[in-house]
């Protein structure tokens, strides 16, 4: 299982790793600025912890590349079961932190971040055995729906709306590949409206409802529930074309935005590096994600292709929603920016996705 074939080294995807390394370097540079106020010797404790987690994430990514990804098809259901068990443990034992019951070990570990990876493995296994092109009826999606509904439901019970939505969107990444007629989705759309109404009435806390209302009407409460979104737009707008310069952002260094090192880390980038710098970073993301889809297309087996598609989804959706949230194009739902935001669980989950993508890429030539 762990044998190293010389061909793996010869066919290693250095370009993809280069894109990831560039994003990580930009993320650390940005995090240094976001936490610079009050830092000792130029590096805050937040940055030091992130560097430690980054070293662990690099080790995880290297380790996951050594195991032939085809073994994960056999292990997909056991891994899925273990991750679901962790969600159950979280519901039973985790304390309520920041309005959500989603963290273990005193806020150091968030199992729901791993739930997306476990779900993708299970869905890739299903679609490898039931090719999406052969799925033409809604009832054929019964098992994928169950695979998706279990983690999404448990994460909603944890009151973590952002991760629950992300997990659902990652699962929906597979829908463009099925051949179910669009007219068949009418009933699904109606059920979706009913589900959203139920979530609004019974699943959302008051502050979550206020954030959605603030998105509809940005100026309704600028000093309370709408404060973060308003300050984020001010920071982005003040960056202009070229930005104010590293460590020079007034909104950032005066800490007008309380969560600028986590959910609103892109605001720091936009203020200090402007439209040009933001476009450069988004270009790196876009290239990395397109490269991931190319890996899926180049895979020599169905499981590798479907796994790569889902893994790209685990990186695309949080990036898209975070940037939209920062720009005021989506409600504030607490979604970190992959490889940029501070947070150990999210970084480890991203390293698993990236390690598996590199795993698939480096083995596409050997069978």
Report the Cα 357 to chain-centroid distance in Å: 15
DSSP structural state of residue 141: G
Please give the residue that has the higher pLDDT: either 332 or 111. 111
Q: Is the pLDDT of residue 2 over 50?
A: no
- Tell me what the mean pLDDT of segment 273-278 comes to: 94
What does the DSSP assignment read for 165-194?
HHHHHHHHTTGGGS---GGGHHHHHHHHHH
Please give the residue that has the higher pLDDT: either 355 or 213. 355
Structure confidence by residue, pLDDT tens digits, 97-144: 777 788 888 778 899 999 999 999 999 999 999 888 777 777 888 899
Task: State how far the Cα of 36 lies from the Cα of 82, in Å rounded to an integer.
Answer: 39
pLDDT in the model for residue 151: 95
Whether 27 maps to a domain, the answer reads yes
Tokens of 39: 């830092």
Q: Is the pLDDT of residue 336 over 80?
A: yes
- Longest distance between any two alpha carbons in the chain, whole Å: 61
Please give the residue that has the higher pLDDT: either 82 or 162. 82
- Tell me what the mean pLDDT of segment 255-265 comes to: 83
What does the DSSP assignment read for 2-63?
----HHHHHT--HHHHHHHHHHHHHHHHHHHHHT-TT-BTTB-HHHHHHHHHHHHHHHHHHH
Report which listed range, 27-41, 202-216, 276-290, 337-351, is most confident: 276-290
Tell me the average pLDDT of the chain.
Answer: 86
Structure confidence by residue, pLDDT tens digits, 10-20: 788 999 999 99
Q: Are 130 and 109 in contact (CB under 8 A)?
A: no
Whether 259 maps to a domain, the answer reads yes
Task: State how far the Cα of 169 lies from the Cα of 148, in Å rounded to an integer.
Answer: 10
pLDDT in the model for residue 207: 65
User: What are the CA-CA distances from residue 242 to residues 4, 24, 38, 322, 367 (Å)?
Assistant: 46, 21, 26, 22, 48
Whether 294 maps to a domain, the answer reads yes
Total number of domains in the chain: 1
Task: State how far the Cα of 356 lies from the Cα of 354, in Å rounded to an integer.
Answer: 5
Say what the pTM is. Answer: 0.90
Quickly state the pLDDT bin for 248 (edges 50, 70, 90): confident
Whether 1 maps to a domain, the answer reads no
- Tell me what the mean pLDDT of segment 182-207 comes to: 69
Q: Is the pLDDT of residue 181 over 90?
A: no
Q: Are 358 and 308 in contact (CB under 8 A)?
A: no
Look up the domain containing 296 and give its range: 6-362
Quickly state the pLDDT bin for 25 (edges 50, 70, 90): very high
Q: Are 33 and 252 in contact (CB under 8 A)?
A: yes
Task: State how far the Cα of 262 lies from the Cα of 246, in Å rounded to an integer.
Answer: 18
Q: Is the pLDDT of residue 84 over 90?
A: yes
Quickly state the pLDDT bin for 367 (edges 50, 70, 90): low
Task: State how far the Cα of 130 lies from the Cα of 109, in Å rounded to an integer.
Answer: 34
- Counting Cβ atoms within 10 Å, is residue 92 exposed (0-12), middle (13-18) or buried (19+)? exposed
Close Cβ partners of 55 (under 8 Å, ≥ 6 residues apart): none
- Counting Cβ atoms within 10 Å, is residue 103 exposed (0-12), middle (13-18) or buried (19+)? buried
Percent of the chain with pLDDT over 70: 87
Q: Is the pLDDT of residue 270 over 70?
A: yes
pLDDT in the model for residue 280: 96
Close Cβ partners of 119 (under 8 Å, ≥ 6 residues apart): 80, 83, 147, 148, 151, 167, 170, 171, 310
Whether 112 maps to a domain, the answer reads yes
- Counting Cβ atoms within 10 Å, is residue 38 exposed (0-12), middle (13-18) or buried (19+)? exposed
- Counting Cβ atoms within 10 Å, is residue 223 exposed (0-12), middle (13-18) or buried (19+)? exposed
Structure confidence by residue, pLDDT tens digits, 303-318: 999 999 999 999 999 9
pLDDT in the model for residue 219: 64
pLDDT in the model for residue 7: 72
Residue 76: helix, strand or coil by DSSP? helix
Q: Is the pLDDT of residue 261 over 90?
A: no
Whether 367 maps to a domain, the answer reads no
Identify which of 171, 102, 145 has the alpha carbon closest to the alpha carbon of residue 311. Answer: 171
Burial 52-90 (b: 16+ CB within 10 A, else e): ebbeebbebbeebbeebbeebbeebeebbeebbebbeeb
What does the DSSP assignment read for 322-364?
HHHHHTTSS-----PPTTTS--HHHHHHHHHHHHHHHHHHHTT
Please give the residue that has the higher pLDDT: either 207 or 44. 44
Whether 242 maps to a domain, the answer reads yes
- How wide is the angle at C-alpha 221 spanned by C-alphas 224 and 244, nearest 5°? 75
pLDDT in the model for residue 1: 44
Q: Is the pLDDT of residue 335 over 70?
A: yes
- Tell me what the mean pLDDT of segment 312-340 comes to: 91
């Amino acid at each position: 299982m762990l044998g190293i074939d010389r061909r793996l080294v010869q066919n290693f995807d250095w370009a993809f790793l280069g894109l990831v390394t560039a994003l990580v370097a930009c993320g650390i540079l940005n995090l240094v600025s976001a936490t610079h106020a009050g830092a000792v010797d130029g590096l805050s404790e937040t940055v030091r912890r992130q560097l430690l987690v980054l070293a662990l994430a690099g080790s995880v990514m290297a380790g996951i590349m050594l195991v032939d990804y085809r073994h994960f098809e056999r292990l997909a259901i056991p891994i899925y079961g273990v991750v679901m068990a962790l969600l159950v443990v979280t519901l039973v034992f985790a304390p309520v932190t920041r309005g959500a019951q989603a963290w273990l070990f005193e806020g150091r570990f968030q199992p729901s971040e791993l739930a997306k990876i476990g779900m993708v493995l299970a869905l890739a296994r299903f679609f490898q055995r039931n090719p999406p092109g052969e799925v033409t009826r809604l009832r054929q999606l019964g098992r994928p729906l169950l695979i998706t509904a279990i983690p999404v439901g448990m994460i909603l019970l944890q009151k973590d709306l952002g991760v629950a939505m992300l997990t659902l969107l990652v699962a929906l990444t597979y829908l463009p590949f099925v051949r179910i007629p669009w007219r068949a989705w009418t009933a699904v759309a109606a059920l979706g409206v009913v589900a959203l109404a139920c979530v609004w009435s019974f699943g959302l806390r008051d502050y979550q409802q206020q954030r959605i209302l603030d998105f509809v009407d940005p100026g309704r409460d600028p000093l309370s529930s709408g404060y973060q979104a308003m300050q984020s737009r001010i920071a982005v707008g003040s960056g202009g074309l070229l930005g104010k310069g590293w460590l020079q952002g007034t909104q950032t260094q005066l800490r007008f935005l309380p969560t600028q090192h986590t959910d609103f880390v892109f605001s720091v980038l936009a203020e200090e590096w402007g439209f040009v710098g933001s476009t450069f970073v988004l270009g790196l993301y876009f290239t990395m994600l397109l490269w991931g889809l190319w890996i899926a297309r180049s895979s020599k087996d169905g499981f590798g292709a479907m796994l790569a598609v889902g893994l790209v989804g685990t990186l695309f959706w949080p990036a898209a929603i975070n940037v939209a949230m920062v720009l005021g194009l989506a409600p504030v739902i607490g979604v970190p920016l992959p490889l940029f935001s501070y947070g150990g669980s999210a970084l480890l989950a991203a390293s698993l996705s990236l390690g598996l993508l590199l795993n698939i890429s480096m083995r596409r030539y050997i069978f």
